[in-house]
Amino acid sequence: MTSEQFIDLVRTEQEPLRRFLLALCSGDAPLADDIAQEALIRAYVSSGSFLGRSKFKTWLFRIAYNCYIDHCRKAAPARLDAAGGEALNLPSGDSADSRFRYQQLYQALDRIPEKEKAAIVLFYFEDKSIKEIAVILDMPIGTVKYNLSMGRNHLREYITI
């Protein structure tokens, strides 16, 4: 894959990729973009080994998720300190009630386990199928369903509206 072909593919996939990471990073756009850049470079370096067994988009999301997990492992103490901060980049043009509800949702997302959060984000924000999520998160389909169910239960506990 040449660099131009890679850039062409990235041009179409950058928005969903950045949105996925933005949700995982609880609205921290600079951090999400940093992780997205790192994921794209990792993908570019190993693009020669992309055998096309999965879609390019799925492969890219999987790399991005791995980069995000690496980042979480490195920044675990800082992340704990930051918990409960204000969620950024909420959908604009909403009423104060909606904004409060979204803020609660993002704070709740930040409190649930990473795998549940990733499954929820991919399913509801990125409209991915269970099968695709299983490939991205490298887990069986049954485990994805379990994580989605547990994630919803946890969110229900944390959101009081």
68: left (phi over 0), alpha (psi -120 to 50) or beta: alpha
The residue (of 124 and 141) whose beta carbon lies closer to another protein is 124
Residue 49 as a binder of another protein (CB under 8 A): the answer is yes
**DSSP state string for 90-152:** PPSS--HHHHHHHHHHHHHHHHS-HHHHHHHIIIIIS---HHHHHHHHTS-HHHHHHHHHHHH
Nearest distance, CB of residue 73 and another protein, angstroms: 15
**DSSP state string for 32-74:** HHHHHHHHHHHHHHTGGG--SSS-HHHHHHHHHHHHHHHHHHH
- Taking CB under 8 A as the criterion, which residues in 64-93 touch another protein? 66-67, 89-92
- The SS3 assignment for 87 reads coil
Nearest distance, CB of residue 50 and another protein, angstroms: 6
- Taking CB under 8 A as the criterion, which residues in 1-40 touch another protein? 3, 6-7, 10-11, 14-15, 18-19, 22-23, 27, 29, 33, 36-37, 40
Q: Which of 31, 72, 105, 150 binds another protein (CB under 8 A)?
A: 105
Both structure tokens of 120 = 């929820």
Residue 112 as a binder of another protein (CB under 8 A): the answer is no
Binding site for another protein (CB under 8 A): 3, 6-7, 10-11, 14-15, 18-19, 22-23, 27, 29, 33, 36-37, 40-46, 49-51, 53, 59, 62-63, 66-67, 89-92, 98, 101-102, 105-106, 120, 124-125, 152, 155-156, 159, 161
